[in-house]
Amino acid sequence: MTDETHPVPSDPSHGFSLEYAPAPESTSVVTIADDYGLFIDGEFVEPRSDQMFPTVSPSAETHLANVAAASAADVDLAVGAARRSHTDVWGSMPGRERAKYLYRIARQLQERAREFAVLETLDGGKPIKESRDVDIPLAAAHFFYYAGWADKLEYAFPGRSVSPRGVAGQIIPWNFPMLMLAWKVAPALAAGNTVVLKPAETTPLTALLFAQLLQDVGLPPGVVNIVTGAGATGAALVDHPDVDKLAFTGSTAVGKQIQRAALARGVPVTLELGGKAAHIVFEDAAIDQAIEGVINGIYFNQGHVCCAGSRLLVQESIAEPFVEKLKRRLATVRVGDPLDKNTDVGAINSSQQLAKITELVEVGVAEGAELFQPDCVLPDSGWFFRPTILTNVQQTHRIAREEVFGPVLSVLTFRTPEEAVAKANNTPYGLSAGIWTEKGSKILWMADQLKAGVVWANTYNQFDPTSPFGGYKESGFGREGGLHGLAPYLSVGPMGGQIR
Ligand code: NAP
Ligand code: MG
């Protein structure tokens, strides 16, 4: 739908261009070592495994550093340090003292925010404007928020006895490395647990910078231990007999393995897994705002987002003009160097992820979907994927059912609210959903019907440390954020108990 008042901006025949001059963020604020050891008992130590692995920049395909691969023996050392630290120091420290450390961590994260943001973008490929304005500020906010609870657990669970579980084993993915670290570490420490954390293989560097920050703030040794490595390191942590609580964010397939292992040992576990969210737009929605919401919902962080609005359900009566408008808007999205401050969509995190996205889109087209990609120029090096809209998508298509975890939107239509609910819930996942309508009653009715842990109305991708986040069905169980995120790190006793 091009017209004279709304020409396609990327079309050179209209005589103007939206080209921006380069605005690269400086990397001088970041120092990357050649090699990184494991962070165990407050020190960086050589791995017993003697094995290292490289981490690279997804946007330049350049080597950044070698990082230690923790073996089961290394994980055992880390769990031992966490246990000692819990028994001797952290588990019995008054909440008001623990809070001081958490506030210090939060303030340091704010002070060093630029360093963390640049490193996050270098190692993971996400746009600097997102790591700078979302990931790092939200990570600091989580530490501030849970610092506030550390000395108020009696108000969090009134009349109940609460005590820390002990040593928490935590495993996180590569899409929000620092933010997922904060979601895990902040509530665990506030509740009096010690931690062994395994970052993702492709994005370990900000967790290692965080370890340096912990040394700077004087956190007692062993309270937080960071064991880098691949899946085998995560499995060793899951299988360690002295871990008291497991928390995992990642894929549903690995989550199921972890659940089996945790159940076998009787260890409490929380799982934050994948998603296939429906983003539902009614004909009475504020259309321009909905367009922005849908764009943000799927192209934020290259679509490497568990709660990404990857299925657009648009009411049939407005489907055609809405999709046309969406395509025009997509043509103005800037794809490229993630360190450039104007970039909207950065690099795909790894070549494997790029191959998975490419394959699923090809399957979608082979199954009958219609492909739209703006004619943007991708950088010569690095892993990039054009933001994509697939129309004519049927509910049975793999592209409508499987998590792509990339910048790919599948468009389906509906006629009635009941049909929207049926289609939205027709997925094994249940993490998030979005609703766009001007009718408040419709929002409330829909939110009640949708089987999703988070439902956003007339907005999308809003995150706040006070608000619980988590899924149903194959999206996992347990909540992170808010009081709900604190509870899994505590043994909560009967009414009338004492606070430790
Ligand atoms: P993944 O392959 O499951 O990996 C997640 C973490 O588990 C990584 O640290 C990984 O190590 C480790 N791991 C792999 N195999 C393991 C095993 N057998 N035992 C223990 N740990 C193991 O997932 P991913 O591809 O990194 O992350 C993407 C997924 O995370 C998506 O499905 C996304 O939806 C989900 N996610 C969910 C949320 C949420 O809050 N619900 C938030 C963000 C992401 P390696 O890095 O070495 O593979
Ligand atoms: Mg990397």
At 3 the pLDDT is 43
CB 213 within 8 A of CB 240: no
- Which residue's alpha carbon is nearest to atom 39 within ligand 1? 272
Per-residue pLDDT of the chain (500 residues; tens, 9 = 90+): 344 444 445 555 555 666 789 999 999 999 999 999 999 999 999 999 999 999 999 999 999 999 999 999 999 999 999 999 999 999 999 999 999 999 999 999 999 999 999 999 999 999 999 999 999 999 999 999 999 999 999 899 988 889 999 999 999 999 999 999 999 999 999 999 999 999 999 999 999 999 999 999 999 999 999 999 999 999 999 999 999 999 999 999 999 999 999 999 999 999 999 999 999 999 999 999 999 999 999 999 999 999 999 999 999 999 999 999 999 999 999 999 999 999 999 999 999 999 999 999 999 999 999 999 999 999 999 999 999 999 999 999 999 999 999 999 999 999 999 999 999 999 999 999 999 999 999 999 999 999 999 999 999 999 999 999 999 999 999 999 999 999 999 998 887 655 54
φ and ψ at residue 116, rounded to 5 degrees: -65, -40
CB 250 within 8 A of CB 231: no
For residue 272, indicate whether it is catalytic.
Answer: yes
Same domain, 284 and 262: no
Cα of 165 vs centre of ligand 1, distance in Å, is 23
Same domain, 255 and 310: no
Query: What distance in Å separates the CA atoms of residue 409 and residue 411, rounded to the nearest whole number?
Result: 6
**What is the number of other CB atoms lying within 10 angstroms of the CB of residue 405?**
25
Cα of 480 vs centre of ligand 1, distance in Å, is 16
At 340 the pLDDT is 98
Same domain, 247 and 314: no
Q: For a substitution probing ligand 1, which of 306, 427, 429, 475 has the most ligand atoms within 8 Å of its CB?
A: 306
- Distance, CA of 319 to chain centre: 30
Q: For a substitution probing ligand 1, which of 202, 246, 248, 251 has the most ligand atoms within 8 Å of its CB?
A: 251
Cα of 480 vs centre of ligand 2, distance in Å, is 25
Query: What distance in Å separates the CA atoms of residue 400 and residue 368, rounded to the nearest whole number?
Result: 12
In a domain, 355, yes or no: yes
Query: What distance in Å separates the CA atoms of residue 156 and residue 99, rounded to the nearest whole number?
Result: 15
φ and ψ at residue 476, rounded to 5 degrees: 105, -165
Q: What angle do CA 12, 13, 19 make, to 5 degrees?
A: 20
How many CA within 13 A on the CB side of residue 289?
14
Same domain, 264 and 283: no
Same domain, 241 and 373: no
In a domain, 5, yes or no: no
- Which residue's alpha carbon is nearest to atom 13 within ligand 1? 231
Q: What is the CA radius of gyration of the chain?
A: 23
SS3 (DSSP) at 489: helix
Query: What distance in Å separates the CA atoms of residue 155 and residue 127, rounded to the nearest whole number?
Result: 39
- Which residue's alpha carbon is nearest to atom 15 within ligand 1? 231
Query: What distance in Å separates the CA atoms of residue 472 and residue 310, rounded to the nearest whole number?
Result: 17
Answer whether 277 contacts ligand 1 (Cβ < 6 A): no
Same domain, 144 and 121: yes
In a domain, 202, yes or no: yes
In a domain, 261, yes or no: yes
What's the start-to-end Cα distance of the chain, in Å? Answer: 65
SS3 (DSSP) at 454: strand
DSSP 299-323: HGGGG--TT---EEEEEHHHHHHHH
Same domain, 212 and 293: no
C-alpha torsion 294→135→205→91, nearest 10: -130
Same domain, 482 and 421: no
Query: What distance in Å separates the CA atoms of residue 354 and residue 224, rounded to the nearest whole number?
Result: 33
At 498 the pLDDT is 54
Query: What distance in Å separates the CA atoms of residue 56 and residue 64, rounded to the nearest whole number?
Result: 5
Instruction: Indicate which atom in ligand 1 lies nearest the CA of residue 403.
Output: 32
Name residue, tokens 């999703």: 452
- Which residue's alpha carbon is nearest to atom 26 within ligand 1? 173
Number of domains within the chain? 2
At 5 the pLDDT is 46
Sheet holding 62-68, edge to edge: 35-36, 62-68, 52-57
pTM metric for this prediction? 0.95
Same domain, 44 and 147: yes
Which amino acid appears at position 282 of this protein? F
Answer whether 431 contacts ligand 1 (Cβ < 6 A): yes
Q: For a substitution probing ligand 1, which of 55, 138, 175, 475 has the most ligand atoms within 8 Å of its CB?
A: 175
Query: What distance in Å separates the CA atoms of residue 62 and residue 169, rounded to the nearest whole number?
Result: 31
Exposed/middle/buried for residue 274 (C-beta within 10 Å: 0-12, 13-18, 19+): buried
CB 478 within 8 A of CB 470: yes
Query: What distance in Å separates the CA atoms of residue 103 and residue 375, rounded to the nearest whole number?
Result: 47
**What is the number of other CB atoms lying within 10 angstroms of the CB of residue 159?**
11
Q: 160, 335, 167: which is closest to 246 by C-alpha?
A: 167
Query: What distance in Å separates the CA atoms of residue 99 and residue 491, rounded to the nearest whole number?
Result: 19
In a domain, 2, yes or no: no
Which amino acid appears at position 406 of this protein? G
In a domain, 13, yes or no: no
SS3 (DSSP) at 273: coil
In a domain, 313, yes or no: yes
Same domain, 264 and 285: no
In a domain, 27, yes or no: no
How many CA within 13 A on the CB side of residue 263?
7
Instruction: Indicate which atom in ligand 1 lies nearest the CA of residue 476.
Output: 41
CATH number of the domain bearing residue 289:
3.40.309.10
Same domain, 481 and 433: no
- Domain of 78, in residue numbers: 35-274+476-494
Same domain, 116 and 238: yes
CATH number of the domain bearing residue 171:
3.40.605.10
